Amino acid sequence: MNHGFARPWRDTLLLAVSAVTLFGGVTAGYAQSTIKWLHLEANADRLKTWQDIAAAYEAEHPDVKIEFQFLENEAFKAKLPTLLQSNDAPSMFYTWGGGVLKAQSETGAIRDVTAAMDADGGAWRNSISPAAVDGLSIDGKVWAAPIQSGLVSFFYNKALFEKAGVDASAIATWDDFLAAVSKLKEAGITPIAGGGGDKWPLHFYWSYLAMREAGQDGFAAAKGGEGFTGEAFVKASQHLVDLGALSPFQEGYLGATWPDTQAVFADGRAAIILSFENTATPQNQANAATDGKGLAEDAIGRFAFPLVEGGAGVITDDFGGLNGWVVTANAPPETEDFLKYFTSKDNAAKLAEFNNILPTTLGADVGVKDPSLAESAAQMAKATWHQNFLDQDLGPNVGRVVNDMSVELVSGQISPEDALQQIEDAFSLEM
């Protein structure tokens, strides 16, 4: 599943290049420690930012060599478990957090970075968004160093909203949102671009609605053993049924892939899309649109997922991806020090500027230069809770059921109670 982070990877180990070759840095003869950095970044421009940061660290630490290793996505997922048990295990590797990270933490193949985070009076921990640190923590231990996050929001076509007489700034509650959908339909406009073929785009709705109804404590209690059949989750599921009853999506949405869905919005064939923070960027618009141009950046607006009346959630509770770097059990001790350096404010700001990411380091959002990302960055800086994608957080098996049930709920194929029981049955098998 692709949640907006570029992951076009294949099945073989393509390269393992040392920092010496890449940067003309120190020679291996002087290096006493080698940090083997396993990553999935196929974009050469984005990788160069990492290389520059690594080269600067090497220059300051001549006894450390950083060796880049690349695996494409599916090969990474398939080969990592074996790599972690081998003599050729990486020192650090990419994570999406959630259930997979939890499972890895139980194998003994990785080590938590809690002590490093809390050293020097918690200097490293205090430099990172608390919501991001919490999102990569399990049972009070931090199992990965946060580096970037993502934020799912509503994006809308300003011209179509104006044509229908819809004021996006007035959408504060779910009822307001449903009223806007109805108003768009009355104006002859398809309200929402939906991707039922890939399923996971529609789980964004159920996830946010569950967060808005249950709140952070209620959601944590559900994951902690209370399960997902409680009243808050029934209400959230009914909200999704109510949306589906308005027939808000484009014709054929149940078979639409995510690229199809993005094209519907970029072409102006629907007024709204629930998507990632980079949806409004000019490049993504051009890539998605049928005409290769898409909507102009200033033609797109954004608003946060609305609250539900009476729900326990708050508007500063966010939903989206969360990414970090895991340290393996036998990694050299310098690995944590490098990660602290890599996630420092100055370096995180460089990543924000040149790699167009939403950084998790506090204050690094000054590096966000793309105006289409700035509003998302400002919202994330105020986050009280950041919930990772549920098909990551709950693990792939439960996540798959959540995705399936989200589609069935919005399309009227199942009742809230029956859908939640299927989610609960899958979740109970993981407990």
Residue with the larger pLDDT of the pair 374 and 420: 420
**Type and span of the H or E element at 179:** helix 174-186
Q: How far apart are CA 240 and CA 109, in angstroms?
A: 40
pLDDT band at 6 (very low <50, low <70, confident <90, very high): very low
Q: Average model confidence (pLDDT) for the chain? A: 90
Least confident of 58-62, 366-370, 406-410: 366-370
pLDDT band at 31 (very low <50, low <70, confident <90, very high): low
- Asked whether 278 and 284 are in contact (CB, 8 A), the reply is yes
- Asked whether 367 and 348 are in contact (CB, 8 A), the reply is yes
Q: Please write the tens of the pLDDT for every residue from 286-328.
A: 889 999 999 998 999 999 999 999 999 999 999 999 999 999 9
pLDDT band at 227 (very low <50, low <70, confident <90, very high): very high
Q: Which two tokens stand for residue 45?
A: 């421009």
Q: Which fold has domain 153-318+394-430?
A: D-Maltodextrin-Binding Protein; domain 2 (3.40.190)
Q: How far apart are CA 427 and CA 431, in angstroms?
A: 7
- Asked whether 142 and 102 are in contact (CB, 8 A), the reply is no
Q: Where in the chain is the domain with CATH 3.40.190.10?
A: 13-150+321-387, 153-318+394-430
Residue with the larger pLDDT of the pair 339 and 284: 339
Q: Would you state the pLDDT for residue 18?
A: 37
Q: Please write the tens of the pLDDT for every residue from 38-55.
A: 999 988 999 999 999 999
Q: Would you state the pLDDT for residue 284?
A: 84
- Asked whether 234 and 210 are in contact (CB, 8 A), the reply is no
Q: What is the amino acid identity at position 247?
A: S
In CATH, the architecture of 13-150+321-387 is 3-Layer(aba) Sandwich (3.40)
pLDDT band at 30 (very low <50, low <70, confident <90, very high): low
With a CB cutoff of 8 Å and minimum separation 6, the contacts of 289 are: 263, 266, 267, 295
16 pLDDT above the threshold of 60: no
Tell me, what DSSP letter sits at residue 429? H
- Asked whether 195 and 1 are in contact (CB, 8 A), the reply is no
Among 288, 289, 191, smallest CA distance to 243 is for 191
Percent of the chain residues topping a pLDDT of 90:
78
